Amino acid sequence: MKTLVVGYNHSRKDKRVMRTVEIFCRLGPVCYQFSGENSAFSNDFQRNLRDFSLCRDEMPGRGKLIKRIRLDREILKLVKELDYDLAYFHSFPASQPIKLFREVKKRGKKLLYDLHEIMPVQFLPEKYSFLNPVLWQILKAQLSLVDGVIGVSDEAMKMMFEKTGITKPFLIIPNYAVTGMQIGRNVKNAEIAIVGGTSRKITINGNLLKELKKNFKLISIGTNCDIVDEELPFMNYDLMMDRISKVKYTLLAFQSRSDPQYPNDIYSLPNKFYDSLAAGTPVIIDDRFVSMKKIIEETNTGLILDLSKEPDRDLSLILNAPGSYDSYLENLGRYYDRFVWDNSKEDCFVDFIATIMNS
C-alpha cells in the first residue's frame, strides 16, 4: 500500500503524526509532507519514506497570506501528482479547505482525516468566533468526502458528528505516551508539575495556589509559567518522563479561551495527561475536563477538583490522603496499558486502515 501523509503545519517530530508515518512505512512506500526541518527516522523506516518539507515561512512572497496560499498550492500539487492509494490528512490547507479532499476523491483514492482537535472551534482566534458556523459547514463538507475519521476522544468525535449530521467510520486514538516508567521506582518529591500547554492560562484559585506553595514546590518543564517556583528547560522525551515520575502530582488546570466550557479544553486528552499517568504520577485535574475526568474516574489514578473554589476541601484532599495516594500508584500500575502506545493499539489502527481500504 502506498500512502500520502499530509502533516501540513505539524513538524516532522510531532508525536501523533510521526506515529502514523512509522506505521504506514511498515505497510509500504510513504510520501510525507511536514513543516520545518528534517529529522532522522530509523533506517527501517527511511527506505520506505520520501520527504517533502514545506513550510509557510519559507514560501516566496511578502506577507503571511501570500505565503500561506503558495504553501497550499504546493500541497495541492502533491495531492494531484504523487502516486498513492491512501491520503491521510493531519490537517487541511487554510485557503483550500475542501479542494484537497475533492482532489483525492476525484483520483479515486481512499481518504482518512485525523482530527487532532474540534476543528471549527479551534481553527480561528476567539475574536473571530462569529465565523465558527462557516467552519462547521466546511467540516461537514470535508466529512462528506472522507472514508474514515480518527479522533482523540469519544466526546469530541460525538460533538463533531452531531453538529454536522454526518457519521463516518471512526477510530479513537488518544495522545498515548510513547513509553512509560516502572511504577514506584522513584521516590516522590514534594513537587507538583504544571503541565498542559504553553499558551494556555492556568486557572486555579489564588488562595489554593498560595496554600499549595506552602506544601509543594511548583515546577514547569519546557514552558513559561508565571505561577511556578522553578521553570525547567525543555528535555528530550526520556528525561522529561523521568523528571515527571519524581513529582508527587501533575496539575492540569489550563484554559485556552474565555469560556471555561470551551469544547477543545473540556474534551481534550493532552499529551502530558497520558505522559504523566505512564510515568507513574497521579494527576490533579479541574472537574470541568469531561474526557480526562472520565478516565480518572474509571481508573482512580488522580484527583478531580474544582480548582476555581476556595482551598479548604481541595487542599485537604491533596495533603491528607496517604492511603488514597498509595491506591493511585497501585492503579497506575494496574491500568498502565491504557496510557501507553503499544502493539495492540497499533494492530487496531492497522485493522482500521485495512477495513477502510477494503470498503
Query: If you search the block for the grid coordinates 517533502, which residue do you land on?
Result: 52
DSSP string of 294-345, one letter each residue: HHHHHHT-EEEE-TTS-SHHHHHHHHS-HHHHHHHHHHHHHTGGGTB--HHH
pLDDT of residue 185 exceeding 80, the answer is no
Mean pLDDT of all residues in 185-204: 76
In sequence order, which ranges of the chain are alpha helices (DSSP H)? 15-27, 43-46, 64-81, 99-106, 119-122, 132-145, 154-164, 206-215, 237-244, 263-266, 271-278, 290-299, 312-319, 322-334, 343-357
Report pLDDT digits (tens) over 271-327.
999 999 999 999 999 999 999 999 999 999 999 988 877 656 667 777 766 578 889
Q: Which residues pair with 11 in a beta bridge?
A: 35
* Nearby residues of 270 by Cβ (< 8 Å), 6 or more positions away: 175, 195, 196, 197, 252
Distance CA 358, CA 134 (A): 33
Global pTM?
0.90
Distance CA 80, CA 276 (A): 42
Residue 42 pLDDT level (bands cut at 50, 70, 90): low
C-alpha torsion angle, residues 294, 300, 302, 304 (rounded to 10): 50
**CATH of region 3-174+341-357:** 3.40.50.2000
Question: How far does the chain reach from its first CA to its final CA, in angstroms?
Answer: 15
Percent of the chain with pLDDT over 90: 60
pLDDT of residue 67 exceeding 90, the answer is no
Query: Could you give the residue range(s) of every CATH 3.40.50.2000 domain in the chain?
Result: 3-174+341-357, 189-338
In degrees and rounded to multiples of 5, residue 114 shows phi and psi of -100, 105
Report pLDDT digits (tens) over 196-250.
654 457 778 878 888 888 889 999 888 777 888 998 988 889 999 999 999 999 9
Distance CA 220, CA 316 (A): 23
Q: Which one is predicted more confidently, 29 or 96?
A: 29
Q: Which amino acid is at 311?
A: P
Measured between alpha carbons, how far is residue 252 from residues 196, 213, 215 in Å? 6, 16, 18
**CATH of region 189-338:** 3.40.50.2000
Residue of 324, 357, 346 whose CA lies nearest to 21: 346
